[in-house]
């Protein structure tokens, strides 16, 4: 029996690295009948093991862990150096030195080894597709493997690897693009339909889903469940900063940009994004390491004009509610929307 088939509500808490995803949030969503997720990106294997243990202490329901795959792409080091020169005066004004724009694998081998040694119900991947050996090893230990795709052909490749489900991420989604390359522009509904035509695995819809009618639309378009991130950013269990919560509650638009990390990600527009987006090179994690001291100083100072605030396009619909209430309300709203659609459809003939 798949994990998705055991859920009382077709709602997944999107893994949000960098703070918002906490063991408390993952456990609350799972306990409420959805599926909570831990974000293993940008932490070490020891912290991951501690987070897994905390979720298990809080709930006996299934949950998942998301891993960042190392980016195999070549980085234009000259372009990264030019970007560093561009940002240096702004960092100096803040009283910090930019970070060293090094590469790295986000401790992926160590974290994968930890999850093989101490299996969890679900492991999902972003920033490309896992290799066949990793998929097989995880599944041998009873772990379901989910791949994240942002274009239809990637779903076919994921199915060929033997994954159990595919997370279909539309361009409306907040945070980083989950596929490679990151220059896709598929909206969620067309991507769902195109993916369903190629792939008969369960599909998890992600991107701009914050309320019940949006969940209903994704289910009607072929998804088995939906992955919500922005909807949980204002929950008390989330690790979102006060500045991030305020940005999500506001009405500013969002945009995709490489200016903060070198990988396209959707966040609330601010002065930093508008000023540097056109000049930002493709280079993850090099740009992430470069900008980290500057962004950390901006968060320390409460400067929303500089610090990033990842959010999806429908962020103004997110509410300040406990996670369990978000799960229940979005699920009930989807049922009501589907019932209303069924009633209206009787008049179409």
131 pLDDT higher than 80: yes
Average pLDDT, the chain: 97
Count CB neighbours of 278 within 10 A: 9
Q: In the predicted model, is pLDDT for residue 87 greater than 90?
A: yes
* pLDDT average, residue stretch 29-49: 98
Residues 280 and 153 placed together within one structural domain of the fold: no
> Do residues 163 and 285 share a domain?
no
Is the pLDDT at 272 greater than 80? The verdict is: yes
Are 91 and 220 found together in one domain?
no
What is the phi/psi pair of residue 103, to 5°?
Answer: -85, -150
Q: Do 334 and 210 sit in the same domain of this protein?
A: yes
**205 and 92 part of one domain:** no
Q: Which of 64, 55, 66, 68 is nearest to 4 (CA)?
A: 64
Contact 225, 10 (CB under 8 A): yes
At residue 145 the predicted structure's pLDDT band, cuts being 50, 70 and 90, is very high
Q: Are strands 175-176 and 265-268 parallel, antiparallel or unpaired?
A: antiparallel
Nearest to residue 30, comparing CAs of 58, 62, 2, 52? 62
Residues in CB range of 226: below 8 A, 6 or more apart? 10, 11, 12, 204, 205, 206, 209, 214, 215, 218, 219
Mean pLDDT of 33-46: 98
For residue 116, what are the contacts with CB-CB under 8 A and spacing of at least 6? 137, 138, 141
Whether residue 262 contacts residue 283, with contact meaning beta carbons closer than 8 Å, is answered with: yes
Q: What's the pLDDT score for residue 193? A: 98
- How far, in Å, CA of 281 to CA of 279, rounded? 6
Phi, psi angles (nearest 5°) of residue 254: -115, 165
Mean pLDDT across 102-124: 97
Mean pLDDT of 13-33: 98
pLDDT at 347 exceeding the cut of 90: no
- The answer on 342 and 228 residing in a single domain is yes
Interval 170-197 mean pLDDT:
96
- The answer on pLDDT for 121 being more than 80 is yes
Residue 76 CA to residue 171 CA, distance in Å, equals 25
Q: Are residues 96 and 231 in the same domain?
A: no
> Are 122 and 14 part of one and the same domain?
yes
Same domain, 183 and 312: no
**pLDDT at residue 332, rounded to an integer:** 98
Q: Cα(273)–Cα(278) distance, rounded to whole angstroms?
A: 9
Mean pLDDT of 209-230: 98
Mean pLDDT of 185-204: 97
Are 2 and 136 part of one and the same domain? yes
Q: 348 falls in which pLDDT band (50, 70, 90)?
A: confident
Number of domains in the chain: 2
1 pLDDT above the threshold of 80: no
pLDDT at residue number 72 = 82
Judged against a pLDDT cut of 90, whether residue 311 lies above it is answered with: yes
Domain that holds residue 269: 74-104+248-318
DSSP assignment of 232-250:
GTTSTTS---HHHHHHHHS
Do residues 129 and 145 lie in contact, with contact meaning Cβ atoms separated by under 8 Å? no
The CA distance from 114 to 134, in Å, is 12
Confidence label for 52 from pLDDT (cuts 50, 70 and 90): very high
Residue 305: other Cβ atoms inside 10 A? 11
Closest by CA position to 260, among listed 293, 238, 230, 235: 293
Same domain, 139 and 224: yes
Tens digit of each residue's pLDDT (9 = 90 or more) over 88-100: 999 999 999 999 9
Residues in contact with 200: Cβ distance below 8 Å, sequence separation at least 6, in sequence order: 159
Which CATH number covers residue 45?
3.20.20.70
Is 340 found in the same domain as 256?
A: no
pLDDT of residue 349: 64
75-86 pLDDT tens trace: 999 999 999 999
């Amino acid at each position: 029996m798949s994990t998705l088939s055991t859920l009382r509500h077709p709602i997944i808490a999107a893994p949000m690295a960098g703070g918002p995803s906490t063991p408390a949030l993952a456990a609350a969503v799972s306990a409420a009948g959805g599926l909570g997720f831990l974000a293993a990106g940008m932490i070490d294997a020891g912290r991951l093991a501690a987070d897994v243990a905390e979720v298990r202490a809080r709930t006996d329901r299934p949950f998942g862990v998301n891993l960042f795959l190392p980016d195999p792409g070549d980085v234009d080091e000259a372009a990264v150096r030019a970007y560093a020169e561009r940002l240096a005066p702004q960092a100096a004004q803040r009283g910090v030195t930019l970070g060293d724009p090094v590469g790295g694998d986000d401790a992926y081998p160590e974290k994968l080894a930890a999850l093989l040694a101490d299996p969890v119900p679900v492991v999902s991947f972003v920033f490309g597709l896992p290799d066949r050996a990793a998929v097989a090893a995880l599944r041998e230990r009873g772990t379901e493997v989910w791949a994240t795709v942002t274009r239809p052909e990637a779903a076919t490749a994921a199915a060929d690897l033997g994954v159990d489900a595919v997370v279909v991420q539309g361009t409306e989604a907040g945070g980083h693009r989950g596929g490679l390359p990151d220059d896709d522009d598929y909206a969620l509904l067309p991507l769902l339909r195109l993916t369903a035509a190629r792939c008969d695995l369960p599909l998890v819809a992600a991107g701009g889903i914050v309320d019940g009618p949006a969940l209903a639309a994704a289910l009607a378009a072929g998804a088995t469940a939906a992955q919500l991130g922005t909807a949980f950013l204002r929950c008390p269990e989330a690790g979102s900063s006060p500045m991030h919560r305020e940005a999500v509650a506001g009405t500013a638009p969002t945009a995709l940009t490489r200016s903060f990390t070198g990988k396209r990600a959707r966040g609330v527009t601010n002065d930093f994004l508008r000023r540097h987006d056109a000049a930002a090179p493709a280079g993850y994690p090099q740009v992430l390491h470069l900008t980290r001291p500057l962004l950390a100083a901006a968060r320390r100072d409460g400067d929303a004009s500089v610090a990033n605030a990842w959010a999806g396009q429908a962020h103004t619909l997110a509410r300040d509610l406990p996670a369990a209430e978000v799960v229940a309300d979005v699920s009930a709203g989807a049922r009501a929307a589907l019932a209303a659609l069924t009633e209206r459809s009787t008049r179409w003939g």
